[in-house]
Amino acid sequence: MAGSAIHRELIKQGYTNIITRARNALDLMDKSAVLDFFQENQPDFVFNAAAKVGGILANNTYPADFIHQNLEIQNNVIYAAHKTGVKKLLFLGSSCIYPRECPQPMQEEHLLTGPLEPTNDAYAIAKIAGIIMCHSYYRQYGDNYLSIMPTNLYGPGDNFDLQSSHVLPALIRKFHAAKVQNKDTVTLWGSGIAKREFLHVDDMANAAIFIMQNIDASDIYERQILHLNVGTGKDISIENLAILIRDIIGFKGNILYDTEKPDGMLEKCLDVSRLNDLGWQYRISLSEGIRHTYDYYKEMIKKVK
């Protein structure tokens, strides 16, 4: 989802010399294949958006895969970038790097100030290692590598598989199915009180390219921070999000909550004032973004049929 959005935005902005590879053409866990690819193609600017990604269920069920694959991918990409003289690299992490009891909104300085949320600590540790790796290559070699931590993303290219998806695409799928099947109720995981922040992936792509064009590693590290938050700075309870999605989809039934299932962190909202001060703001409202994503979902299932 994120990589495709960055690709779309680069084309929209007029870039033409863009190199991408699907996983079946280049497995980023294969160190020598990654190095060969970088040596052959000599990219100048690298967006590292590839990762093993999933929602709370997938993270909690497959922690070994999450830590192993993410460490391997980012190690191989950052190392190959260094070896082949990449001019600038942007590493995509995630807001789950912050401590479970992090003060809200979460500021860049809150990194490594407390224990992590246990349901996704393996993923978070891999992402923190990526941040430290970019910083280490800057410290030791002066490499222009920096990390951005986007909040929860959604939009075209999202994963709608209920076993591995994040909350927003899961809600779109559940409410759509309930509407089509004329169900009376939809049951959601958790109590609905947890609050989350959501950023449309096209806004994230715009931010990533803005940072690639305008902000250097030194701008970040000299401010005594290790990464930049990317988000809206606004959160919404899962209950209100569910109501918003239900109304956009037009499901007329009731929403029930399975409180036996975990909520994860109760609040998770980024402080995005640093990125705002550096000149970037989000543009797509949550309701507009959900409408857009629902249209994408309906097109996607039409094609599958």
Ligand X SMILES: NC(=O)c1ccc[n+]([C@@H]2O[C@H](COP(=O)([O-])OP(=O)(O)OC[C@H]3O[C@@H](n4cnc5c(N)ncnc54)[C@H](OP(=O)(O)O)[C@@H]3O)[C@@H](O)[C@H]2O)c1
Q: Determine, following the binding rule CB under 6 A, whether residue 190 of this chain makes contact with ligand X.
A: no
Cα(280)–Cα(207) distance, rounded to whole angstroms? 7
Q: Determine, following the binding rule CB under 6 A, whether residue 166 of this chain makes contact with ligand X.
A: yes
Q: Rounded to 10 degrees, what is the CA torsion of 99, 103, 109, 114?
A: -30
Q: Determine, following the binding rule CB under 6 A, whether residue 27 of this chain makes contact with ligand X.
A: yes
With respect to ligand X, which residue has the nearer C-beta, 4 or 237? 4
The DSSP 8-state label assigned to residue 266 in this structure reads: S
Spell out where the chain has E strands: 45-48, 88-92, 145-150, 152-154, 185-189, 195-200, 228-230, 235-237, 254-258
With respect to ligand X, which residue has the nearer C-beta, 178 or 211? 211
Taking contact as CB under 6 A, which single stretch among the options 27-35, 102-110, 257-265, 279-287 is the one that binds ligand X?
A: 27-35
Taking contact as CB under 6 A, which single stretch among the options 46-54, 102-110, 245-253, 291-299 is the one that binds ligand X?
A: 46-54
Q: Determine, following the binding rule CB under 6 A, whether residue 49 of this chain makes contact with ligand X.
A: yes
Contacts of 248 (CB under 8 A, 6+ apart): 287, 290, 291, 294
**6, 9, 10, 28: which one binds ligand X (CB under 6 A):** 28
Q: Nearest distance from residue 158's CB to ligand X, in Å?
A: 7
The one catalytic residue in 15, 62, 123, 221 is 123
Taking contact as CB under 6 A, which single stretch among the options 22-30, 185-193, 258-266, 276-284 is the one that binds ligand X?
A: 22-30
Contacts of 285 (CB under 8 A, 6+ apart): none
Cα(195)–Cα(235) distance, rounded to whole angstroms? 6
Q: Determine, following the binding rule CB under 6 A, whether residue 152 of this chain makes contact with ligand X.
A: yes
Q: How far is CA 89 from CA 48, 81, 128, 131, 216, in A?
A: 7, 8, 16, 12, 10
Q: Nearest distance from residue 170's CB to ligand X, in Å?
A: 12
User: Using CB under 6 A, which residues numbered 72 to 131 contact ligand X?
Assistant: 73, 92, 94
Q: Nearest distance from residue 198's CB to ligand X, in Å?
A: 8
Cα(296)–Cα(154) distance, rounded to whole angstroms? 11
**6, 10, 46, 50: which one binds ligand X (CB under 6 A):** 50
CA torsion sign for 53, 54, 55, 58 is negative
Annotated catalytic residue 123: yes
User: Residues with catalytic annotation?
Assistant: 123
Please report, as ranges, the residues that interact with ligand X according to CB under 6 A.
1-3, 23, 27-29, 49-53, 73, 92, 94, 150, 152-153, 157, 166
